[in-house]
Amino acid sequence: MPQLDKVTFLSQFFWLCFFYLGFYYIILKFYLPKISRILALRRKKLGLSQEGITSLIEEKQKVQENYDTFLSKALITSKSLFNNFFSRTTNWLNNNATSINKTHYQNVNASYIHFLGETSLSQNLLLYHASQNLPEKLTFKMLLNNLENLKSKAVNSSSTSKLQVSTQETKKLKKAKK
């Protein structure tokens, strides 16, 4: 075999070592530093981008927190302003209604009270005169019916003062009849 020939073996081994070491030297001096610089730059960029991503996430969280606090403060402020406006409006309405009733409607209120008094007096006079013309049994029966009606109304409306007033009216009618 020619590869294992002792005469050419040494020259083949020399050229193999020469090219191998030359190729190794070129790669070591020219290509490996460039590759290592590129890898270092990529690591640095990747680290910066990771830091950028984390800083963006932190900034996003801060913006979200600021937005939430701003929104909650705005809601609290709007609620307090609404309550303040509502209470001021209610007070204004009550004051104006009271002042209008005292000034503009004073005559109307006085005439209304006068009318109620006249109506009540005329009803009482009518009952008084009607009770004198009726027989005693019929008058007594009407008074008892009125009393029972008033008691049932008093029970329904849970008002004992109305019952006391109606019993006093019944007593007055009895005294007036005598």
What are the φ and ψ backbone dihedral angles of 4, each rounded to 5 degrees?
A: -100, 15
Tokens describing residue 176: 């007036």
Across all residues in the chain, what is the average pLDDT?
A: 83
pLDDT in tens, 122-156: 888 787 777 666 666 776 777 788 888 888 876 77
Confidence of residue 117 (pLDDT cuts 50, 70, 90): confident
What does pTM read for this prediction? 0.37
The pLDDT value given to residue 84: 96
pLDDT in tens, 49-92: 888 888 889 999 999 999 999 999 999 999 999 999 999 999 99
What are the φ and ψ backbone dihedral angles of 135, each rounded to 5 degrees?
A: -65, 160
Any long-range contacts for 137-146 (C-beta under 8 Å, 24+ apart)?
139/173, 139/177, 143/170, 143/173, 143/174, 146/170
The pLDDT value given to residue 2: 63
Q: Count the helix, strand and coil residues of the chain and give each as a percent rounded to the nearest 5.
A: 95, 0, 5
